[in-house]
Amino acid sequence: MDIYYEDKPIWGATAFNDQEYIKVFDRENCRVGVRKLTNRTIVIDNYVMQEGKEGLGLFTGLHEGGHLWLHPGVFTAPDNSGQLSLFKDEKPKIRPVVCCRHNNIESFGRKKALVTSEDFREHQADYFASAIAMPKSTFIPLALEILNLNGITGGRVITGIDWQHDWFAEEEFPRLIAGVYGVSKQAAFIKLRKFDFIVAKDDLQPSLF
């Protein structure tokens, strides 16, 4: 379905209770409507499910699954759950349908401040998706093998040296990882940076370069 949004696109949503609702855009009748959701329902926007966006669709689904697995104590109505909440003081203010915008998906490795409880929850869900889609136990040896096969020593590729290194880091390296795990090139690139397989020259200490 097409999830309705007013500003930033919403790629996925999760309902934690029965009798919850989400706004959708009815393309056939060109109007905004409402769909009822049951508890533990995940909704993925049609944009993410388009041909050619399979990696993004996978990651979005896993991100929403992360919310479902990690955060039921935050969003489930008190009479439906005996779970403890890490954010108990926030519960009255939280909508039981969690809508995740495009800037929440594939953002687990970006350098951004985590300030609010929502920031932390989105980061947790995204990190969960990354761990399931690209398990550390296979990701690290695969990345090292790709580096070795391409004649890159030291266990990392450093950007900002020349165009060949930049092209390999931004295009070829994440493309090869994405091809193995079925994720988007963006998700692969972020994880490679998160695990320091891609490092910018300016981020290195002078003594290490």
Whether the model clears a pTM of 0.85, i.e. scores above it, the answer is no
| 85 inside domain | yes
| 73 inside domain | yes
Pull the structure tokens for residue 52: 């050619």
Pick the last residue of a domain from 133, 161, 183.
133
Residue 55 has a pLDDT of 93
Whole-angstrom Cα distance, residue 31 to residue 159?
47
Does one domain contain both 43 and 145? no
As a whole number, mean pLDDT of residues 26-36 equals: 87
| 150 inside domain | yes
Tens of pLDDT along 124-133? 999 999 999 9
Whole-angstrom Cα distance, residue 64 to residue 78?
21
Measured over the CA atoms of residue 147, residue 148, residue 149 and residue 152, the dihedral's sign is: positive
CA 60 to chain centre: 6
Residue 83 has a pLDDT of 37
Pick the last residue of a domain from 77, 105, 133.
133
| 24 inside domain | yes
H runs (alpha helix) in 96-172: 117-133, 136-149, 163-167
Q: Which range of residues forms the domain containing residue 202?
A: 136-208
Count each helix (H run) and each strand (E run) in the chain, helices first. Answer: 7, 7
